[in-house]
Amino acid sequence: MVAVMTKALPRAMAAGLLALLAVPGLARPAAAPPSADEMIARAHLAMFYPGEDMRARVTMRLVSRAGGERRRELTMTRRDLQDGGEQRYFIYFHRPPDVRDMTFLVWKYPGRDDDRWLYVPAIKLVRRIAASDRRSSFAGSDFSYEDISGREPEEDTHTLVREEKTGARDAYVVESVPKDPGSVDFGRKLSWIDKATWLPLKEEYYDRRGELARVFTAEEVKAVQGFWTVTKRLMKNVQTGHSTEAVLSDVRYNLKLAPDLFSERALRAPPAELTR
Amino acid sequence: MKCSLFVVAGLLVTAAAGGVAAEEPLPIHGFLQAASAYRLLRPDACPRTQRLACEEEFVLGEGRARLEVEPRGERWGLTVKAELIWDAVAGEVDGDLREGYLDLRFPALDLRAGRQIVTWGVGDLVFINDVFPKDWVAFVSGLPLEYLKKGSDAVSATGHWRGTSVQLVLTPRFEADTLPEAGGRLRFHDPMAAIEARRTDDPSPSLDHLESGLRVFRNLAGWDLSLYAYRGFFRAPAAEVEAGPRLRFFFPPLDVWGASAQGAALGGVVSVEAGYHDSRADRSGRNPAVENSSFRFLAGYQREIVPDLTASGQYYVQAMEDHAAYRRTRGPGMARRPALRHVLTLRLTRLLWHQTLRLGVFALASPNEGDWYVGPEARYQITDAWSATVGVNAFGGPRRSEFGQFEGNANLYAAVRYAF
Q: DSSP states of B114-170 as a string?
A: EEE----SS-SS--SS--S-BBHHHHHHT--GGGGB--EEEEEEEEEETTEEEEEEE
- Inter-chain CB proximity A130 and B269 less than 8 Å: yes
- Inter-chain CB proximity B74 and A272 less than 8 Å: yes
Examine the pLDDT at B238 and tell me if it is beyond 60: yes
Given a contact cutoff of 8 angstroms between Cβ atoms, the answer to whether B106 and B141 are in contact is: no
Pick the more confident residue, B198 or B4. B198
**What digits encode the pLDDT tens for the residues B3-22?**
455 555 555 555 555 545 55
Q: Please tell me if residue B160 touches chain A, with a CB cutoff of 8 Å.
A: yes
The type of residue at B138 is A
The string over B27-58, giving b where at least 16 C-beta atoms fall within 10 Å of a residue's C-beta and e elsewhere, is eebbbebebbbebeeeeeebbebbeebbebeb
State phi, psi for B264 to the nearest 5 degrees: -80, 125
Given a contact cutoff of 8 angstroms between Cβ atoms, the answer to whether B303 and A132 are in contact is: yes
Name which of B119, B269, B387 is nearest A124 (Cβ-Cβ). Answer: B119
Q: Scanning every residue of chain A, which has its alpha carbon at the shortest distance from the alpha carbon of B417? A: A98
Question: In the prediction, which pLDDT does A10 show?
Answer: 44
Q: Which domain holds residue B174?
A: 2-419
Question: In the prediction, which pLDDT does B193 show?
Answer: 77
* Residue among A124, A134, A144 with most chain B CBs within 10 A, to mutate: A124
Q: Please tell me if residue A66 touches chain B, with a CB cutoff of 8 Å.
A: no
Residues in chain B with CB shorter than 8 Å from the CB of A128 are: 122, 224, 262-264, 269, 271, 302
Distance from CA of A121 to the nearest CA of B (A): 9
- Inter-chain CB proximity A132 and B303 less than 8 Å: yes
Q: What angle do CA B187, B246, B250 make, to 5 degrees?
A: 75
Give the pLDDT band (50/70/90) at residue A18: very low
B155 forms bridges with which residues in the sheet? B113, B170
Residue ranges of A 140-199 with Cβ closer than 8 A to chain B: 140-141, 185
Give the pLDDT band (50/70/90) at residue B161: very high
Domain count for chain B: 1
How many Å from the N-terminal Cα to the C-terminal Cα in chain B? 25
Name which of B29, B160, B303 is nearest A100 (Cβ-Cβ). Answer: B29
Residues in chain B with CB shorter than 8 Å from the CB of A141 are: 354
Distance from CA of A204 to the nearest CA of B (A): 20
Question: In the prediction, which pLDDT does B220 show?
Answer: 94
The string over A164-200, giving b where at least 16 C-beta atoms fall within 10 Å of a residue's C-beta and e elsewhere, is eeeeebebbbbbbebeeeeebebbbbbbbbbeebbbb
Q: Of the ranges A8-22, B132-146, B301-315, which one carries the lowest mean pLDDT score?
A: A8-22
Name which of B148, B307, B354 is nearest A135 (Cβ-Cβ). Answer: B307
Question: In the prediction, which pLDDT does B329 show?
Answer: 87
CA distance A162 to B284: 82
Question: In the prediction, which pLDDT does B3 show?
Answer: 47
**What digits encode the pLDDT tens for the residues B71-99?**
988 899 999 999 999 999 889 999 999 99
Examine the pLDDT at A28 and tell me if it is beyond 60: no
Q: List C-alpha distances in Å: B8 to A103, B11, B418.
A: 27, 5, 21
Q: Of the ranges A72-81, A255-264, B180-189, which one carries the lowest mean pLDDT score?
A: B180-189
Q: List C-alpha distances in Å: A119 to A59, A269, B381.
A: 20, 10, 20
Q: What average pLDDT does this structure show over A96-106?
A: 94
CA distance A87 to A83: 9
Question: In the prediction, which pLDDT does B43 show?
Answer: 66
Name which of B222, B302, B384 is nearest A71 (Cβ-Cβ). Answer: B384
Phi-psi region of A101 (alpha: psi -120 to 50; beta: other; left: phi over 0): left
The string over B212-228, giving b where at least 16 C-beta atoms fall within 10 Å of a residue's C-beta and e elsewhere, is ebebbbbbeeebbbbeb
Compute the mean pLDDT over every residue in chain A, rounded to the nearest whole number: 88
Q: Please tell me if residue B356 touches chain A, with a CB cutoff of 8 Å.
A: yes
The string over B348-363, giving b where at least 16 C-beta atoms fall within 10 Å of a residue's C-beta and e elsewhere, is bbbbeebbbebebbbb
- Inter-chain CB proximity B271 and A125 less than 8 Å: no
From the list B195, B197, B196, B153, the residue with the least C-alpha distance to B176 is B153
Q: Please tell me if residue B349 touches chain A, with a CB cutoff of 8 Å.
A: no
Pick the more confident residue, B305 or B11. B305
- Inter-chain CB proximity B165 and A264 less than 8 Å: yes
Q: What average pLDDT does this structure show over B220-227?
A: 94
**What digits encode the pLDDT tens for the residues A196-219?**
999 999 999 999 999 999 999 999
From the list B98, B200, B208, the residue with the least C-alpha distance to B153 is B98
Question: What percentage of chain A has pLDDT greater than the value 70?
Answer: 88
Examine the pLDDT at B205 and tell me if it is beyond 70: no
**What digits encode the pLDDT tens for the residues A146-195?**
899 899 999 999 999 999 999 899 999 999 999 998 888 899 999 999 99
Q: What angle do CA B250, B256, B259 make, to 5 degrees?
A: 155
Question: In the prediction, which pLDDT does B35 show?
Answer: 97
Residues in chain B with CB shorter than 8 Å from the CB of A70 are: 354, 356, 383-384
Q: Please tell me if residue A113 touches chain B, with a CB cutoff of 8 Å.
A: yes
Give the pLDDT band (50/70/90) at residue B189: confident
Q: What is the CA radius of gyration of chain B?
A: 22
The string over A112-147, giving b where at least 16 C-beta atoms fall within 10 Å of a residue's C-beta and e elsewhere, is ebbbbbbbbbbebbbbbbbbbbbebbbbbbbbbbbb
Task: Count Cβ atoms within 10 A of the Cβ of residue A7 and give its class: 0-12 exposed, 13-18 middle, 19 or more buried.
Answer: exposed
Q: Please tell me if residue B77 touches chain A, with a CB cutoff of 8 Å.
A: yes
The type of residue at A141 is S
Name which of A97, A133, A140 is nearest B356 (Cβ-Cβ). Answer: A140
Residue ranges of B 264-293 with Cβ closer than 8 A to chain A: 264, 267-269, 271
* Residue among B352, B384, B386 with most chain A CBs within 10 A, to mutate: B384
Provide the sign of the torsion angle of the four alpha carbons A153, A158, A160, A165, taken in this order.
negative
Pick the more confident residue, B42 or B248. B248
Strands of chain A, DSSP E: 53-63, 69-80, 87-95, 103-108, 115-120, 125-129, 156-166, 169-178, 188-194, 200-206, 212-224, 227-237, 243-253
Question: In the prediction, which pLDDT does B120 show?
Answer: 97
In order, the DSSP letters of A148-171 are HH---GGGEEEEEEEEEEETTEEE
Residue ranges of B 312-341 with Cβ closer than 8 A to chain A: none
Examine the pLDDT at A260 and tell me if it is beyond 80: yes
β-pair type (A200-206, A188-194): antiparallel
Given a contact cutoff of 8 angstroms between Cβ atoms, the answer to whether B93 and B85 are in contact is: yes
| Cα-based torsion angle of the residue sequence B91, B133, B392, B122 in order, rounded to the nearest 10 degrees | 160
From the list A58, A64, A48, the residue with the least C-alpha distance to A244 is A64
3-state helix, strand, coil in chain A (%, to 5): 25, 45, 30
CA distance B156 to B264: 29
Per DSSP, A114 falls in state P
3-class state of residue B262 by DSSP: strand
3-class state of residue B247 by DSSP: strand
A36-269 domain in CATH 2.102.10.10?
no
CA distance B150 to B146: 9
Residue ranges of B 41-60 with Cβ closer than 8 A to chain A: none
State phi, psi for B196 to the nearest 5 degrees: -95, -20
Q: Please tell me if residue A137 touches chain B, with a CB cutoff of 8 Å.
A: yes
Chain center to CA of A23:
33
Name which of A71, A113, A272 is nearest B72 (Cβ-Cβ). Answer: A272
| Residue boundaries of the structural domains of chain A | 36-269
State phi, psi for A20 to the nearest 5 degrees: -60, -45
Question: In the prediction, which pLDDT does B192 show?
Answer: 78
Question: What percentage of chain B has pLDDT greater than the value 90?
Answer: 71
Count residue pairs from A and B with Cβ separation < 8 A.
108
Per DSSP, B339 falls in state S
CATH of the domain at B317: 2.40.160.10
CA distance B149 to B131: 11
Q: What angle do CA B187, B192, B198 make, to 5 degrees?
A: 90
**What digits encode the pLDDT tens for the residues A123-141?**
999 999 987 677 889 999 9
Q: Please tell me if residue B303 touches chain A, with a CB cutoff of 8 Å.
A: yes
Residues in chain B with CB shorter than 8 Å from the CB of A139 are: 355
Question: In the prediction, which pLDDT does B332 show?
Answer: 74
β-pair type (A53-63, A243-253): antiparallel
Distance from CA of B395 to the nearest CA of A (A): 24
β-pair type (B198-200, B246-250): parallel
